[in-house]
Every structure is written in C-alpha cells, then in structure tokens.
Amino acid sequence: MTTTLETSTVRRSAAPALAALALGGFGIGTTEFATMGLLPQIASTFDISIPTAGHSISLYALGVVVGAPLIAGLAAKLPRKGLLIALMLAVALGNGLSAVAPNTTLLMVSRFVAGLPHGAFFGIAAVVASGIVAPERRGTAVARVMVGLTVANLIGVPFATAAGQQIGWRSAYAAVAFVSVVTALALARWVPRIPAAHGASVGAELRAFRRPQVWFALVTGMIGFGGMFAVYSYISPTTTEVTGLGAGAVPWILAVFGLGMTSGAWLGGRFLDRSVMGTVFGTLIATTVELALFGLLATIPVASFLLLFLIGFTTTVLASALQMRLMDASPDAPSLASSSNHSALNVANGAGAWLGGLAIAAGWGYVSTAWVGVALSLAGLAIAVLSVVVERRAKTVVPV
C-alpha cells in the first residue's frame, strides 16, 4: 500500500514532472505539424507536387498508428520512466534522419521512423500524469500533458515554418532532434520512478480491445478528428491561394491555430472533470460548425484567423476527452488503450490529409478541404452518439 508520505512526495513532484512531459509533447507536436507548413519548401527541394509532398504527413501518421499499440503492448512490463526516456531518444533519431535525408524516399522512411514513438509517448505520459495527481485532477493532468503539443503549434511550428522559409526546412527537424534529447534529460531528472502496473503483460493490455466502448472511442477519433487534418494539412497553400495573403502570413496563421490549441489545453480540463462524453459531443458539434464556416469564409482574412483559432481550441479539447474516455473504458489496461488514442488520431491525420489531397487533385480547390472536414466531423459525431446508445442498452440488460 502506498503510504501518505509516498503519495505526498509524488504529488509534490507533479509540477516539474508534468513540465518535462509537456516538453516532450512540444518536440513531438512541432515535428508533426511543422511539416504541414513546410510542404511548399519540401516539394521544391525534391521537385515534386505539394500533394505528393503531403505523403510525408501520411507516412508519419502511419508510423504513429503502427508504433503506438506495438510499443505500448510489448513494453507493458517496463518501468514507465525508462520507457519514456527511450521513446524521446527514438524521436531524436527519427528527426535527425529527416534532417539529413538526401532524397524523397529516405525522407518518407525517416518520417515513418519519427512517427513510431509518438503515440506511445503521449499515451504512457497521460497514464503517468494521471497517477501523480489527486484523483479529482486527473482530467486536468491529462490536458496538461497536451499543453506541450499545443505550445508547439503556438511557437514551435510558426518558428519552424519561418526558419524553413529562410534557412531551409531541414533546420526544423534538426531543432526537434535537439529538443528531444533535452527532454530525455528532463524526464530523467524530474519524473518519479513508476513501475509497470502489477500483473501487466501483453495479454492483459490486449484484453482492452475486447471492450466495445474502446473501439467506439477509437473510431470516433479516427473519423471525427480527420476533419481538422483535412484543412490543416493544406493550410499553407490555402492561406496564399484562397485567403490571398503572402507566404509571410503562414507562420502567423499557424501561431493563431496554436494559440487556440493552447487555450483548449489549459481550459479543456475543466470540461473533462465535469463530463467526458458531454465534452466529446460538444467539441464534435462545434468543430463541424467551425469547418463549415471556414469553407464559406476562407477568403476573408479575419474570419480565417478566428475560425482556425476556434478549430484549434475545440479539437484539442476533443483529443483530451477521447484520451480520458479510453482510460475510463479500460482501467486495467490503460497504457495500450491510451496510446491507441494517438494511433486513432493519426489515422485521422493520414486520412484527412489524403482525402483533402484527393479533393484538391480533383480540381475542387483548396477550400474544398473544409467540406471534406465537415463530412468527417459529422460521421465522428454519429459514431459517438451510437456508442452512448449501445452503452445505455448494455446497462439496462437484466441478467436472467
């Protein structure tokens, strides 16, 4: 049994530990989203089209999809702290390779490698964060882990985009590799030693996937979150070709999106502490409306900036809500379920970028990505509603 003194010590260490976890999120968030702002530069370097360069986004997402459940499952028995450090060193490796890739093929491979530790890090970090705070603060702690990712969109991605425009896109990946090494050192210093859960095993973690609500939550994320990625993946050319602003405006519009995400991470925990599923419904409805308005008003600069702020806010809260939903649906196997959330969100990343690219390639224009997003958000909402219907029916079944 954990003593009062032990519990007090862990909770006093929560602030610097959460900061270290958030720093890891900052590096990962920068590498994930900076590519979207650097597509024109990457395409120019390798003499390929922007939709083809967008495959680097999809392959990164594929790495997350493959890596999150694979790593979380196979590493079920490993101490959490050491595993988090190893994952950040893997992030450093993948981004270092991206920075020196001499051709398109090796860039695509290195982006896949960089994506492998992404989901496992966020999933395990969320479990660690929720375990070092008071029970009633779990939602807030999980949201705090996401702060690093959102600050990446507020500061890291705009700066990486600006640096990519001025000194080359490779500098962005080199910077992420450096941040990842610093994060590994911070984790070693501040995160308390946390052993794997008692009785943890690959089999125990895999049993989470027998629960229907786990799958409902994952599919909600796979589809519903794709709406944001359909738009955001092509925000750089949309800003210049549709909104009519110069390339210098792209870092600013990315910063506004990041400000929305950061606001969502700081304030979203309050919604989660009250109602997880209520938050899922509210954010999916809000995102659908915001994407539709973006499709109608993307030619107006002020409207574009405001709507991207709102989209960033609501989708960040949605990500944390789905994280909590998975952890609640699988209390005895939280690491794999939690990590799989990021697999789901990166299926959304890859699918959103791919479907948005198809709409653009079909000649419907960059603004058509907003309508792709509306369809995906509505589909995600329908699945979330169905999950609650199924859950309530299961609870009303009376054993014979």
Residue 131: its pLDDT value, please? 78
Please determine, for residue 293, whether its predicted confidence score (pLDDT) is greater than 60.
yes
Cα gap 326→123, rounded to integer Å? 10
Please determine, for residue 54, whether its predicted confidence score (pLDDT) is greater than 90.
no
- 92 vs 152, more confident: 92
Half-sphere exposure of 55 (CA within 13 A, CB side): 13
Residue 197: its pLDDT value, please? 61
What CATH number is given to the structural domain containing 267? Answer: 1.20.1250.20
Of residues 23, 19, 101, the one with CA closest to residue 60: 101
Cα gap 26→268, rounded to integer Å? 18
Q: pLDDT digits over 315-330, tens only?
A: 989 988 998 888 788 7
> Please, which pLDDT band fits residue 2 given cuts at 50, 70 and 90?
very low
Residues sharing a CB contact under 8 Å with residue 143, sequence separation 6 or more, in sequence order: 265, 266, 268, 269, 272, 317, 320
Residue 385: its pLDDT value, please? 95
Residue 32: its pLDDT value, please? 86
Host H or E run for residue 362: none
Encoding tokens for residue 86?
């190893």
Cβ neighbourhood burial of 26 (10 Å; 0-12, 13-18, 19+): buried
State phi, psi for 356 to the nearest 5 degrees: -65, -40
Mean pLDDT of 100-117: 95
Encoding tokens for residue 247?
């390339």
- On whether residue 63 sits in a domain, the answer given is yes
Cβ proximity of 326 and 338 under 8 Å: yes
Distance of CA 337 to the CA centre of its chain: 15
Encoding tokens for residue 206?
């895999």
Distance of CA 301 to the CA centre of its chain: 26
Q: pLDDT digits over 345-363, tens only?
A: 878 877 898 899 899 989 9
Cβ proximity of 124 and 24 under 8 Å: no
- On whether residue 236 sits in a domain, the answer given is yes
Residue 241: its pLDDT value, please? 92
Cβ proximity of 32 and 153 under 8 Å: no
Please determine, for residue 400, whether its predicted confidence score (pLDDT) is greater than 70.
no
Host H or E run for residue 36: helix 14-46
Of residues 369, 23, 360, 307, the one with CA closest to residue 187: 23
The rounded mean pLDDT for the chain is: 86
Mean pLDDT of 117-133: 86
Lowest mean pLDDT among 124-128, 276-280, 283-287, 296-300: 124-128
Cβ proximity of 278 and 149 under 8 Å: no
- On whether residue 398 sits in a domain, the answer given is no
Please determine, for residue 75, whether its predicted confidence score (pLDDT) is greater than 50.
yes
Mean pLDDT of 213-228: 92
Q: Provide the domain count of the chain.
A: 1
Please determine, for residue 7, whether its predicted confidence score (pLDDT) is greater than 90.
no
Mean pLDDT of 192-217: 74
- On whether residue 18 sits in a domain, the answer given is yes
Task: State which amino acid sits at residue 44.
Answer: S
Number of H helices, E strands in the chain: 19, 0
Domain housing 242: 4-393
Q: Within 10 Å of residue 248's Cβ, how many Cβ atoms?
A: 10
Lowest mean pLDDT among 14-28, 174-188, 294-308, 316-330: 316-330
Of residues 141, 27, 123, 26, the one with CA closest to residue 76: 123
- On whether residue 399 sits in a domain, the answer given is no
Residues sharing a CB contact under 8 Å with residue 176, sequence separation 6 or more, in sequence order: 27, 30, 31, 34, 91, 92, 95, 160
Cα gap 110→173, rounded to integer Å? 11
- Report DSSP state, residue 246: -
- Report DSSP state, residue 118: H
- On whether residue 400 sits in a domain, the answer given is no
- On whether residue 161 sits in a domain, the answer given is yes
Cβ proximity of 257 and 235 under 8 Å: yes
- 201 vs 66, more confident: 66
- On whether residue 131 sits in a domain, the answer given is yes
Cβ proximity of 233 and 36 under 8 Å: yes
- 239 vs 197, more confident: 239
